[in-house]
Amino acid sequence: MTKNADTITVAGVQLNTGLFINNEWVAGRGEPLQSIDPATEEVIATIQTATPEDVDDAVAAARNAFENTWGTNVSGQERGQLLFALADQVEQNIERLAALEVVDAGKPCAWARVDMEDTVACLRYYAGWADKIHGTTIEIDDKEKHAVARKEPIGVVAQIVPWNYPILMLAWKVGPALAAGCSIVFKAAEQTPLSTLLFAELVRAAGYPAGAFNLVNGVGAVTGDALARHMDVDKIAFTGSTATGRRIAVAAAQSNLKAVTLELGGKSPNIVFEDADVGEAAKWAAFGVFENMGQSCSAGSRVLVQAGVYDAFVAEFKRQAEAFAVGDVNDPKTFQGPQVSKLQFDKIMGYIAEGKKGARLVTGGERHGSKGYFVQPTVFADVEMGTKIADEEIFGPVASVIKFGSEEEGIKIANDTSYGLAAAVHSQNYARVQRVTRRLKAGTVWVNQYTLLSHAIPFGGYKQSGWGRELGAAGLEPYLTTKSVHHYYGGPFEWPINLSKL
C-alpha cells in the first residue's frame, strides 16, 4: 500500500479520494470512478477504486484489528463509548454529509438532512446495545458440570450498501457490527461514494483503532465480488437488487461458506379497503411510493384498491401526486429530486412506456424539465396483474393502481409476487386489519400509514426479498456467533463413565 494525499472539494467539503485502510488513506489500484450530479448531469468528482489486491490489504487490516486491538479485546462498555463518539461526530457534520448526498445522490436537501438525523439516532441506538450483549447459563442435570453459551463477534465482515440511502444504510450495518465488536471492510455504491469518504474520517476522529473500519470503493463486479469471495471474510451483508444478492450468495458459498444476510428488492402492496379513510389513505399511498424518488426497496408501488372506493381514491391519489414539488434539490420545499443516474432514469422511462401500452395513465408519465434525471410522479390506473408495471420492481416514482373486489381477492393479489419485503393495510375495521395482516407474506406491514420505520423494530423480507433482519435487537444477531462452553469440575476421569452426565 502507498499513502495517498489526493484531495478534492465537493459541495464545500474537502475529501480524500483514496481507500481508507488501517486508519490511513492509501492509493487505490483500480480504474478511477466518476461521480455524477444527477440534477445537473455533470461530473463532480473522480475517486480511486480497489482491486482484489487492495481488498486483500483491507481484509488483512481488519483481521489484525479483530485479533489484536478490537473484537473480544475491547469491552462492551468501551465499544458503546466509541459508538456514541462516532454518533457525535456524525451529528457535528450533518450539514456536510447532507450536502454531499444532495449532489451525489440527488436527494432534496430537506430529505438528506433527515437521513443524517436518522443515522445519528441509529448509531446511538446500537451504542446502547454494546454492553448488553449477554450469553446464557444453562441448567444441566449434573452437580459436577457448568455450561454457558457465549455471544461473541463473528469476526471480519464485509458490508455493501446501495445508492438510495448511502449513509443511512451504512448506519444500519455499521452500527450493529461495531456494537458487536466486528471489524469491517465497507463498500459504498459506485454511484454514491462521496458521503462515505467523509464518514471514514469521522470514524478515525471518534477514536476507533486502526483496522476496525476500512473503506474500499469500486464497482460491484470487481470490488464487491472480491469481498464476496474472500477466504478471510467471515460474513457479508448486502443491500441491493435481488439479482446481485443471488450472485453474492453463490460467491459466499463457493468460497469459505461465509455467513450472508441480504436485504433485497420488493414490489410491495398497499391495500386500501372500502372502510378506509380514503383521503388519508391516498396521502400515505403517495408518500409511500414517491418518497426518495420512488427509489426505495419497500416502496408501495402496487396500490390495491377495493372496488367501492376505487374511483374516489384514484382521483385523490392523482391530486396528491401532482401536489409534490419536483425539481430544485436545494429548496427545502422540494419533495422529489432526480433519479440517481441516467441508467436508472432510462430504465424507469422504459417501464412508463410499457405502462402506456395497456394501463390508463392518470398523471405524469414524462420527464420533468430538460436537464437532470427528473421523472414526473406517475400514476397508472386499471393495471392488470401479469403486466410489467404490476409485477416488476421499477425503483422509481411510478405507482400501479389495481382494483380488487373481496377481501380474499385483495389478499391473493397482494401475495401474488416473488417478493415479500413490505405491505400496508388501510382500514378502520380492527377485525379486518388483524385478519389481513396475519395473512400477508411480508416482513413489515404498516396499518393506516406507510414507509415509517424505527431503529428498534426489525426490518427484512420474505421470499426473494432477502435473508435475515436488520434493525432492532434482531439486527445484532447476524454479527454474533454462539460459543457453548462445557466446564467439568468433578473427579478424575474413569472408565466406564456415565456419558449422559458429561
Are residues 190 and 276 both part of a single domain? no
Do 89 and 171 contact (CB within 8 A), yes or no? Answer: no
Band of residue 422 on the pLDDT scale cut at 50, 70, 90: very high
Select which of 263, 407, 470, 477 is catalytic: 263
The per-residue pLDDT for 261 is: 98
Is the pLDDT at 3 greater than 70, yes or no? no
C-alpha span between 312 and 326 (Å, rounded): 25
Is residue 498 assigned to a domain?
Answer: no
Domain boundary among 447, 472, 497: 447
The per-residue pLDDT for 6 is: 87
Percent of the chain with pLDDT over 90: 94
The per-residue pLDDT for 500 is: 63
Enclosing domain of residue 177:
7-264+461-483
- Between helices 194-206 and 166-180, what is the axis angle to 10°? 30
In this structure, what C-alpha cell is assigned to residue 101? 448526498
Do 191 and 161 contact (CB within 8 A), yes or no? Answer: no
Is the pLDDT at 468 greater than 80, yes or no? yes
In this structure, what C-alpha cell is assigned to residue 42? 455533470
Angle at 317 between CA 454 and CA 340, to 5 degrees: 60
In a 13 Å sphere around the CA of 52, the CA atoms on its Cβ side amount to 9
> Which residues have a Cβ under 8 Å from the Cβ of 72 and sit 6 or more positions away?
152, 153, 181
Are residues 423 and 466 both part of a single domain? no
Are residues 259 and 274 both part of a single domain? no
Are residues 178 and 288 both part of a single domain? no
Is the pLDDT at 496 greater than 90, yes or no? no
C-alpha span between 15 and 7 (Å, rounded): 5
In this structure, what C-alpha cell is assigned to residue 30? 483500480
Please spell the DSSP secondary structure of 111-122, one letter per residue: HHHHHHHHHHHH
Residue 359: Cβ-neighbour burial (10 angstroms; 0-12, 13-18, 19+): buried
Are residues 282 and 172 both part of a single domain? no
Do 397 and 377 contact (CB within 8 A), yes or no? Answer: yes
Band of residue 458 on the pLDDT scale cut at 50, 70, 90: very high
Are residues 418 and 432 both part of a single domain? yes
Are residues 382 and 273 both part of a single domain? yes
**pLDDT tens, position by position, 229-262:** 999 999 999 999 999 999 999 999 999 999 999 9
Are residues 115 and 142 both part of a single domain? yes
In this structure, of 400-414, 459-473, 484-498, the range with the lowest mean pLDDT score is 484-498
* Active-site residue, 263 included: yes
Nearest to 288 by CA among 381, 434, 421, 432: 421
Are residues 20 and 154 both part of a single domain? yes
**pLDDT tens, position by position, 155-168:** 999 999 999 999 99
